[in-house]
Amino acid sequence: MKKYFAVSVLAASIFAVTGCQEEKAEAPAAAQVALENVDQQQAYAIGASVSRYIATTLEQQKELGLELDNALVLKGMQDGLSGEVAMSEEDIQASLKALDEKLAGLVEAKAAEDAAAAKAESDKYLADNAAREGVTVTDSGLQFEVLTDAEGDKPSAADTVTVHYKGTLTDGSTFDSSYDRGEPATFPLNRVIPGWTEGVQLMSKGAKYKFFIPSELGYGENGAGSIPPNSILVFEVELIDIEKADAPAEETPAS
């Protein structure tokens, strides 16, 4: 989900932006401005940078359902620069605080809406996938299919495994891959997400499985990095090696 910024983060002294206005068919304003020396270029750069940032901020707020009057935003900026502001500092701060609170509520509602939609989509995907031939579903809801079978010992949760893997979302976009890095990964099996801990324990050395990990066994409602909330994680995993955990030392009987 996109991040949405409140206007108050702009320090309340600068408000807005010709960048919010519709593009015109004629040549861009930059071509009509004399920028003949460093001072002129720096002055113009300040205005251009601030306006583009605020334009993006206001556009994101519009996506949340909050649309401010661009003419008043621009008027507030002009008055602030001239020192003839129509509101007291106390009223400005109160207005910005109220805006922050309104935006926080809108962002929370949008996040809940997006999470609910993602959960419904994930549930449908898992239901359809579970019906495919070759897919097995465990009691926890983890789904897997065997790409290459193997026989032999299987790791326990306490063991350290070496694997090659590729992780994608259901749309096929890759978010992590040991293949891309050119070397396998080694880690204790009880230090990863629950879907991995459970799934790799089903494998023997030399096997290759494909896992479909529900969000509850992955990164849940919060997501992680480029992984959105309530995402199913699809992993192809090749188990290369198993390093057994050290067995607990036997106690020496008291003499």
Catalytic residue positions? 165, 175-176, 193, 219, 235
Q: How far apart are CA 193 and CA 224, in angstroms?
A: 12
Torsion of Cα atoms, 100 then 103 then 104 then 105, to 10°: 130
Cβ neighbours for 106, distance < 8 A, ≥ 6 positions apart: 4, 64, 65, 66
Asked if residue 235 lies in contact with residue 167, where contact means CB atoms within 8 angstroms, the answer is yes
Token pair 């509520």 in the structure block, residue? 105
Is the distance from CB of 211 to CB of 144 less than 8 angstroms? Answer: yes
